[in-house]
Amino acid sequence: MSQKVLITGGCGFIGRYVTQELLSCGYQVRILDALIDQVHGDAGPTIPDGVEFIQGDVCDKAKVGEALQGVESVLHLAAEVGVGQSMYEIARYVGGNDLGTAVLLEAMIGLPIKRIVVASSMSVYGEGLYTGADGRRFGQVRRKAAQIKAGEWEAKGPSGETLTPAPTDEEKPVDLASIYALTKYMQERAVLIYGEAYGVDAVALRLFNVFGPGQALSNPYTGVLANFASRIANGQSPMIFEDGQQRRDFVHVRDVARAFRLALEKPRVNGHVVNIGSGQSYSVAEVASLLAEAMDAPHLQPEILHKARSGDIRNCFSDISKARELLGFEPEHRLEQTLGELAAWVRTAGAIDRGAEMKRQLEERGLVS
């Protein structure tokens, strides 16, 4: 008898790929998903054959209890997602992410569940790791508001020295620069504390910028590539905060789905937090230009705003040595080789551009400077 796995948020962008990954490897899958409008719009879910589906919020104790019956493992992906939005819809994010995780863990007590894997986020790091000219590590760098207001975008050392961004490993201390980051850190810590207390295998995967076909193109608080694609599909230039030279790590959703399956299967990963990224870094402006070319719109070059959003960081990209060691994880779908696939999907998907609306909402609340 194959193992039965509950995926919370299994109808979301990442959840759908995780579902397919597990099905292809012989798992039984049950999904709990609230189907919130911001992510799913008016479209109903497409549930693969053989998958059990329960519509319900992860904060609903009764629904969660129903979903947990008869499963051996849990992949906890259900969450509110969006750094900018979290800064003004605070109760929504704390409720959906932190209370939802608490309800799930409480409902698991006493059940024969062997492992839980939670989706955490690179946002918990705040700024990524930096090194000085002498090679010294700087693990807690934060830009000052006055510096950002003056358009000095790059992070500096404590004495104003120039720093070089470096791949961020799991040893870097967390630095929670947004409400979203705070809620994701609580999720991962709650899951790991629960696992240790109750003798349940527990793993937290810190996901970097996930991209691929199927992302919610009309949700302005989703991934940056989806935002760019929505703008370009509607004949608009991608909007980029700061100067566009901030660096990120973009990891394909199929690689992420495989990482979740490996986190279910590998005994050595129990009790660990693990980065899941591509191990590559790209400037945001570079990615916008590459996507515009892939979408046959090279004339739509990025609109550089020279403004910063509250809670944004300058540089963060992954060191995936630990994922390689504990999971046997190796990225297979590089950004440069998969933008054509993303562009082809965007042409058929249709996208409502809400980027300007997102910018206005942030500006009205004083969260753009």
Per residue in 225-270, pLDDT (tens digit) is: 888 888 898 899 999 999 999 999 999 999 999 999 999 999 999 9
- Percent of the chain scored above 90 by pLDDT? 73
- Are the beta carbons of 197 and 264 closer than 8 angstroms? no
Residues 171-219 pLDDT 10s:
999 999 889 999 999 999 999 999 999 999 999 999 999 999 988 776 6
Per-residue model confidence (pLDDT) at position 328: 98
State the sign of the Cα–Cα–Cα–Cα dihedral 174, 180, 186, 191: negative
Q: How far apart are CA 205 and CA 253, in angstroms?
A: 13
Per-residue model confidence (pLDDT) at position 363: 57
Residues 6+ apart with CB under 8 A from 304: 240, 242, 243, 244, 285
Q: Is residue 42 pLDDT above 70, yes or no?
A: no
Q: What is the rounded average pLDDT of the residues 282-299?
A: 94
Residue that is written with structure tokens 């973009």 in the block: 250
Q: Is residue 14 pLDDT above 50, yes or no?
A: yes
Q: What's this model's pTM, rounded to 2 decimal places?
A: 0.91
- Are the beta carbons of 276 and 329 closer than 8 angstroms? yes
Q: What is the rounded average pLDDT of the residues 118-134?
A: 96
Residues 6+ apart with CB under 8 A from 318: 122, 167, 168, 208, 249, 251, 275, 276, 277, 278, 279
CA-based end-to-end distance of the chain: 57
Q: What is the rounded average pLDDT of the residues 92-109?
A: 97
Per-residue model confidence (pLDDT) at position 1: 47
Provide the 3-class DSSP secondary structure of residue 47.
coil
Bridge-based pairing state of the strands 282-283 and 247-248: antiparallel
Nearest to 25 by CA among 203, 336, 191, 257: 257
Provide the 3-class DSSP secondary structure of residue 15.
helix
Q: Which residue has the higher pLDDT, 144 or 365?
A: 144
Per-residue model confidence (pLDDT) at position 102: 98
Helices (H), the chain: 13-24, 37-40, 61-68, 83-86, 90-93, 100-108, 145-149, 179-198, 224-233, 253-265, 284-294, 321-327, 335-349, 355-364
Q: What is the mean pLDDT of the chain?
A: 90
Residues 293-319 pLDDT 10s:
999 999 998 999 999 877 688 999 999
Q: Is residue 29 pLDDT above 60, yes or no?
A: yes
State the sign of the Cα–Cα–Cα–Cα dihedral 312, 313, 314, 318: negative
Look at 42-46, 172-176, 197-201, 340-344 and tell me which has the smallest mean pLDDT. Answer: 42-46
Question: Token pair of 168, please?
Answer: 């961020």
Q: Is residue 39 pLDDT above 70, yes or no?
A: no
- Taking phi over 0 as left and psi of -120 to 50 as alpha, with beta for the rest, 151 belongs to left
Domain ranges of the chain: 4-364
In CATH, the number for domain 4-364 is: 3.40.50.720
User: Which sequence positions are flagged as catalytic?
Assistant: 180
Per-residue model confidence (pLDDT) at position 118: 98
